[in-house]
Amino acid sequence: MAAAYIIGASTTAFGPQPEKSIVSLGRDAALAALSDAGVDSASVNMGFFANVFGPLLFGDTTIGQDVFGAIGVQRAPIINIENACTSGSSAFHLAVQAIEADAADIVVVVGAEKMCVPTLGLVGGGQSDYASRNGMAAPVGFAMRAARHMHEFGTTLQQFAAVTVKSRAFAAKNPLAQFRKPTNVEEVLAGPMIADPLTRAQCCPIADGASAIVVASEKAARANGARAVRVNASVLTSGESVSAPDIVRWGTDIRTCALAYEKAGVGPDDVDVAECHDAFSISEILHYEALGFCAAGEGGRFVESGASAPGGRKPVNPSGGLLSRGHPVAATGVAQISEIVLHLRGEAGARQTPDAKVGVAQCMGGDKDGDTKSCTVVVLSR
Amino acid sequence: MAAAYIIGASTTAFGPQPEKSIVSLGRDAALAALSDAGVDSASVNMGFFANVFGPLLFGDTTIGQDVFGAIGVQRAPIINIENACTSGSSAFHLAVQAIEADAADIVVVVGAEKMCVPTLGLVGGGQSDYASRNGMAAPVGFAMRAARHMHEFGTTLQQFAAVTVKSRAFAAKNPLAQFRKPTNVEEVLAGPMIADPLTRAQCCPIADGASAIVVASEKAARANGARAVRVNASVLTSGESVSAPDIVRWGTDIRTCALAYEKAGVGPDDVDVAECHDAFSISEILHYEALGFCAAGEGGRFVESGASAPGGRKPVNPSGGLLSRGHPVAATGVAQISEIVLHLRGEAGARQTPDAKVGVAQCMGGDKDGDTKSCTVVVLSR
Amino acid sequence: MTAARVLDHVFGAPPIAGGLFDVDASGAPFLMGGHCDQCDRYVFPYSESCPACLSGMKHVRLGGEGVIYSHTTVRTKPPYGLPQPYSVAFIDLNDAPLRIFALLDHSMAGGFRIGDRVKLKVGVIGHDGEGDPRARGYFTLKDSR
Amino acid sequence: MTAARVLDHVFGAPPIAGGLFDVDASGAPFLMGGHCDQCDRYVFPYSESCPACLSGMKHVRLGGEGVIYSHTTVRTKPPYGLPQPYSVAFIDLNDAPLRIFALLDHSMAGGFRIGDRVKLKVGVIGHDGEGDPRARGYFTLKDSR
Ligand SMILES: [Zn+2]
Ligand SMILES: [Zn+2]
């Protein structure tokens, strides 16, 4: 099986960008990623475009062909992907698969989202869904995970708040993040309650933004020299339907991380830096546990210890994560991988993880039967 | 590169099915395809789900996980695909790529669409598009192709109508088609005009429906024995932006067919049976020419000769095609391939192509700059 | 009188979806779901085929009592005209091995605890997304506190 | 007076999108598009970067005359409140090597032929998708027939 490499990556600023369309956001990220890779449009053999809200908010479909058209990619196969919050990382997964199938030498992945419009309501499932129609929405399932985590493991409100405090500390070092002002536990807990026990600062903000990655075959990566980053594993799984889901020992999350480690031939101790899907403070705590950075139930104490903070032994979400950088849904999965690429190259500026050799990007999305619809874990190394 | 095979295929009836949801349509097709392949849900390594209108009409997203959940596929990677009219064939393309990458032994592709609801208007681009806002919609571009084809090649109204007459003659033999009553040239031309020179019977009807295919590696296909159909080529391309598009010598269509023939190592003369994207009568005439079944400009005379009709030397759209079977957008690309599978297996009943050894399925979709956004051509053989 | 009209009469508005709940002869509400005879699996809401083995499922009563496994109270602008704030929970049912998502009694929103014993009620709460009132099932404390 | 109000004043309603057309000093309407100095490529509507070479594009006038390359008349219920029936065409512009899609004069819908010489006009035709009237460019016969 042919190996896949990342030779270019770029992310736009995240946050409200009323003057930008989905296409212009995607184009900006894609052009910057091509320039980062040092390849031109004519070299692109295939393109994947990830977006969730275009059809719902603007009636736009098949947007990828417009984005790739705007960067001068013509005739090459282009496919539009939607997979909830893993839209971008699922598109990346398919790009890696195209390289592995020897179907392409250079594949570009673009995730772009425009959400900061008045017509966007509370994000939930469609109208056909029992849970959605009875009050399930993005924060609700996670708030119940938080309450149960407190009940079973003694996790505290202060520990949840520590996730946001750590997130802002990293975001202060990332010029592209949306919320860059440092905060503290008291301030996080004093904010308005969204869904008990999650206050507003523990819920990620929506955003407009895009991110793009250039994936290459070994042959095409050679020209990129030492900057090329190796894809050791890209794993995509789906949730399952069980009679009584354990919402604080998240089977799908745990299983997907383990599968990615196995495929990459590494373990949690080998990971130098990680991005995870911190849509809410509790999410990051659960992902610490699934990624094996601490034992089950210990996520709250792990963040409180400072281990995942700037200067800690296991930096998590150095970009600021969803909580501070913002969450333009289909851009997120691509941006997480892009962030890891920067650290492995030593190009992450003020937030650089010292001597990063192995990095992980974890993402998940969509509520179904007390589980997630989709989960991705990518392991990269230099 | 590992070879891919089709070991199961199934299509639901197409037409208004008000009692069925997208999920139930997709489930019906997928279960029947699995049963046709003789494999169970637990053997499925990966799933692709194609749909276009779920978000626009019902606010539903990430539907594939619900469809695959309903057929008992859990944990396996599932990805939602949208690529206009080629959504289903693009999903198939990715399934073949997954086999070629050695990432899976059994991949299921499901295309499902529910369109027969009062909220569906004239199908066009989104509100961000110049052409859409100035009157471009699905029939409009094709009506102009028809007018130009008449002007340059002397194609007649009777020849356009002959496409529909031939389509109904085939559909009469397909119990799953929507319009099965035979018609004649006079009746087709006497119907209400939609966009000059296309009357209503020359425009495909919308429909609810689904189709599913089980794609397998050589190893997994072995158990399927002689019924397995070989995928000789699956080609996906995008359109291009030129200053003055020639709308009757359709570059993207011609190029994609040629690429598929080259990859498969066959030519037009080797093709025993074809399905093509006959969204309008003129479409099929242009696709005859792109597929090389006749010379450029000769499509009208080709259909008039009876060559593509039941009993003709080059049967095209034996399913009834989009014009008679109906066009549930994301199901269409999968259903076309399924139809070819039936003929190659000798299981197409009253419409069976005698001794079919090589078959082609051509699809395209999305308007952009006088070209299509996406085009797929699949070559299959037994 | 059609089935829909009967439910309308009993609950004060049509239910948010058919087949979720009903009342027994004494007027006590109960949940309805599915059961698979092949693998003894229960589901709520009802689905035609068993998620484990794809066998056809039977319609069964799931009772109306359970214990709160986890819960939250949503304080932002609610969807479907639900009350502000509204509480929801995962509830372990007494009469079937199922952990289900459900609304809690909004008259005591924020007043629930993990482990609380709860029972089903049905009332007109919120709308159908287009403004028409709908009956929804919700759980309230079984024992007074 | 803002730019939008000026256009509103000239055309009787705001244009369906900015940057598509304008009028010269004599009041004659013309199309606006983009030109790439690198590869001498024209586009309509304007786009920031050249589809061929991605260079930045200059705003240029594309004139207001051309020849019909193909056309149709749409007789079903029209989108955006366009007239029923309405005619559209691909038009080869005289002053730039471009084949563009455009509306035709609906007062003579169905009366156009391939090869007809046409000229641009602007009028209030249809709405913006939400019912507000909009000015749109359309082509009518240059020579009387
Ligand atoms: Zn069962
Ligand atoms: Zn140029």
* Chain A contact probe: residue of B128, B217, B256, B371 with most A CBs at under 10 A: B128
What residue ranges do the domains of chain C occupy?
Answer: 3-141
C1 pLDDT tier (thresholds 50, 70, 90) = very low
pLDDT, average across residues D6-14: 72
Q: Give the type of residue at B110.
A: V
Interface partners of chain A (CB pairs < 8 Å, 3 or more) are B, C, D
Counting ligands in written order, the one closest to the CA of C43 is: 1
Chain A, 4 to 43: residues with Cβ < 8 Å from chain D are 24, 27, 31, 41
Could you give the C-alpha distances from B191 to A281, B113, B183, D21, in angstroms and in order?
62, 27, 11, 38
Question: Given an 8 Å threshold on Cβ–Cβ distance, is B72 in contact with C53?
Answer: yes
Q: Is it true that the peptide bond before D85 is cis, omega within 30 degrees of 0? A: yes
Q: How far is the CA of A158 from the centre of ligand 2 (A)?
A: 57
Chain A residues close to B51, C-beta within 8 Å: none
Percentage, residues of chain C above pLDDT 70? 94
Q: Which residue of B has its CA nearest to A233?
A: B103
D7 has a pLDDT exceeding 60: no
Chain D residues close to A71, C-beta within 8 Å: 54
D66 has a pLDDT exceeding 70: yes
D95 pLDDT tier (thresholds 50, 70, 90) = very high
The pLDDT of residue A259 is 98
With an 8 Å Cβ cutoff, is B192 touching chain D? yes
The pLDDT of residue C49 is 87
Q: Which residue of B has its CA nearest to C51?
A: B72
Q: How far is the CA of D47 from the centre of ligand 2 (A)?
A: 11
Percentage, residues of chain B above pLDDT 70? 98
A174 pLDDT tier (thresholds 50, 70, 90) = very high
3-class DSSP assignment, residue B5: strand
Q: What is the mean pLDDT of chain A?
A: 96
D1 pLDDT tier (thresholds 50, 70, 90) = very low
Q: What is the mean pLDDT of chain D?
A: 91
pLDDT in tens, A272-323: 999 999 999 999 999 999 999 999 999 999 999 999 999 999 999 999 999 9
| Of A8-17, A53-62, B9-18, B284-293, minimum mean pLDDT range | A53-62
Q: HSE on the CB side for C83, CA within 13 Å?
A: 18
pLDDT, average across residues B165-180: 97
Counting ligands in written order, the one closest to the CA of D34 is: 2
> Which residues 6+ apart lie within 8 Å of D40 measured at CB?
none
| Contact exists between C and D (3 or more beta carbon pairs < 8 Å) | no
Q: What is the mean pLDDT of chain B?
A: 96
The pLDDT of residue A128 is 56
With an 8 Å Cβ cutoff, is A321 touching chain B? no
Torsion of CA A101, A102, A108, A113, to 10 degrees: -10
pLDDT in tens, A67-124: 999 999 999 999 999 999 999 999 999 999 999 999 999 999 999 999 999 877 645 5
Domains of chain A, start order: 4-118+207-232 (3.40.47.10), 129-205+234-381 (3.40.47.10)
The pLDDT of residue C6 is 46
C7 pLDDT tier (thresholds 50, 70, 90) = low
Q: How far is the CA of D36 from the centre of ligand 2 (A)?
A: 5
B5 has a pLDDT exceeding 90: yes
C125 has a pLDDT exceeding 80: yes
pLDDT, average across residues B173-200: 98
The pLDDT of residue A138 is 83
pLDDT, average across residues B229-233: 98
- Where residue A76 falls (left for φ over 0; alpha for ψ -120 to 50; beta otherwise) is beta
Chain D residues close to B133, C-beta within 8 Å: 16-17, 80, 129
D3 pLDDT tier (thresholds 50, 70, 90) = very low
Could you give the C-alpha distances from A43 to A75, A220, A329, B374, D51, in angstroms and in order?
12, 10, 28, 19, 15
Q: What is the ipTM of this complex?
A: 0.93
Chain C residues close to A121, C-beta within 8 Å: 79
D9 has a pLDDT exceeding 80: no
C139 has a pLDDT exceeding 60: yes
With an 8 Å Cβ cutoff, is B191 touching chain A? no
A126 pLDDT tier (thresholds 50, 70, 90) = low
The pLDDT of residue B123 is 52
Nearest-angstrom CA–CA distance, A44 and A65 = 13
With an 8 Å Cβ cutoff, is B69 touching chain A? yes
What are the tokens at B58? 């019902």
- Tell the residue number behind the tokens 């229960």, with chain if given: C42
pLDDT in tens, A135-166: 998 899 999 999 999 999 999 999 999 999 99
The pLDDT of residue D6 is 46
| Of A343-352, B134-143, B205-214, minimum mean pLDDT range | B134-143
Q: Where are the alpha helices (DSSP H) in chain B?
A: 22-37, 64-70, 87-100, 130-133, 138-153, 157-171, 185-190, 218-222, 251-264, 281-290, 299-304, 321-325, 329-345
Question: Given an 8 Å threshold on Cβ–Cβ distance, is C52 in contact with B71?
Answer: no
- What is the phi/psi pair of residue A186, to 5°? -60, -45
Q: Give the type of residue at B181.
A: K
CA distance A291 to chain C (A): 24
CA distance B28 to chain C (A): 11
pLDDT, average across residues B140-169: 98
The pLDDT of residue B368 is 87
B169 has a pLDDT exceeding 60: yes
The pLDDT of residue A224 is 83
Chain B, 210 to 249: residues with Cβ < 8 Å from chain A are 236-241
* Chain D contact probe: residue of A19, A24, A39, A41 with most D CBs at under 10 A: A41
The pLDDT of residue A8 is 98
Q: Name the residue among C75, C77, C43 with its Cα closest to residue C58.
A: C43
Question: Given an 8 Å threshold on Cβ–Cβ distance, is D86 in contact with B135?
Answer: yes
pLDDT, average across residues A348-367: 96
Q: Which residues pair with C139 in a beta bridge?
A: C104, C120
pLDDT in tens, B365-374: 988 888 999 9
With an 8 Å Cβ cutoff, is A65 touching chain D? no
Question: Given an 8 Å threshold on Cβ–Cβ distance, is C99 in contact with A245?
Answer: yes
Label residue C17 exposed, middle or buried (CB < 10 Å: 0-12, 13-18, 19+): middle
